[in-house]
Structure 1
Amino acid sequence: MDGSSQSIRRFLRAHYQGAVATLSASDGLPYASVVHYACDQQGRPWFLFSDLAVHSHDLARDARASLLVWEAGPDLMALPRATFLGRVCRADPDPALEGRLMTLLPGAESYLDMPDFHFYRLECARVRWIGGFGAMGWLHSEVDFLLPVPRELELQEAAAVTHMNADHADALADYWRMASGSEPAAPVRLLALDPEGMDLACGVDRLRLDFPAPVTTPLQWREQLVAMARRARSPSV
């Protein structure tokens, strides 16, 4: 992670769990809890919280919060991490986005059947990023962080994902081999597409595979997927 908007977005998209810190509704002290999150097409984190959770009570009183995401490893101080500061507020995703979130958030389908679960999103005010020893800095607004995305991509994502899962299981397995360096232990599924890459699942394992460059149309999605399949089968291409 080098501090560029793209680098920070790619880091955030490559993970799906972190720690949310809120201000305690009882005494204002910081309270942190582990959470799952999923990014929308622009790169904004969304959550699915229960009304019974402590952090939900805190957010109802004061929406100020932060999300910490880190790379796991034996020496955390030498690895990338980022803190996204802002406000975490209840929000209603449109149908296209809700479908994406339901796929990316672990257990979302069973949770959303319960009446006390609701979607929240992080309205990011600034980002503190640390790439490792001696590499750190700030992004100072959500405008600096988020990626503008054509509406067409948001609306066509579900159809593209369904098509890949139905008709291109071999390509998905090739993507997994290329990204992980190992054979998939189960059928590989495409979870989501966005302008900067794809999210894959194999059993309980997940992988993020970035595109060489962002796309702006569904046709470019197809072109990137075809090119990456060729590259996976012939690494020298």
Structure 2
Amino acid sequence: MLSRLLRQCLFSIVHLVVSLLVAVQNVYHCFWTYYCGLFSEQEAKTDIGVLIKHIPNISKKPKHLVLLTDTSQHSLKDLALVVIWSLVAGVPYISFYDVTGELKQSESKLFVEVEKCKKGVPGCIKWSNRPNLNGYTNGIQAHTITINIFANSDGRPKLAECIRKIASNEVDCKREGNEFTAQELDETIRRFYPSIPDPDLIMYTGSLCCTHGLLPWQIRLSEFVQLSLDQCINIECYVGALYKYNKCDQRFGK
């Protein structure tokens, strides 16, 4: 009886400490985002101006950026701006993970919103489901960003389908032994997804850090960075997340 009460007491203390640490981290994140001096009144007023000023200071940029998207909190304009910011920042792939399941149905509306926000911004935007952009501007190869929209069906269900087809020999797999190595499985799984690199950086908003079923195999080495506590998406949060990723030391299990 005493040991049970002791365990409950220790659990309550640990829970309280963790809650306090999370609260301190959230307060610090808000303070860091708005008051650390990255964005003074003397800086350029436009989003592009802010990016142009800070991007040279960021040496490590993600090759594939994913935004956990909640259409009840994030507007199509918010998402379109993230695409444009990533285009200017030199990110070659951006994906939206549709948490609510509504974004895929609004892909054509997002396409229109992105085209509106892109006016005057150099570079090309390609959509996985809209291969009508060739990546060239006036015959000169320009920076290109490729957009994908994923939903829950692209996560565990698709991975399970992949494993089932491997087990039933429906997929021609190259393997040296009876068991798959991580590299061999990775090469096989890539056949079931668009030709994109694994996500380097995953951005989310709100206080809860959750994968929501996002591509469980591909995100095993990804960095999760919080954009904001209040579901807000703005240029300050975006650049701040890039700075955080820039400082990440990815050890890859070493």
Structure-2-length-normalised TM-score: 0.21
- Higher relative contact order, structure no. (Cα contacts within 8 Å, ≥ 6 residues apart): 2
TM-score w.r.t. length of structure 1: 0.21
The structure in which a higher percent of residues are strand is 1
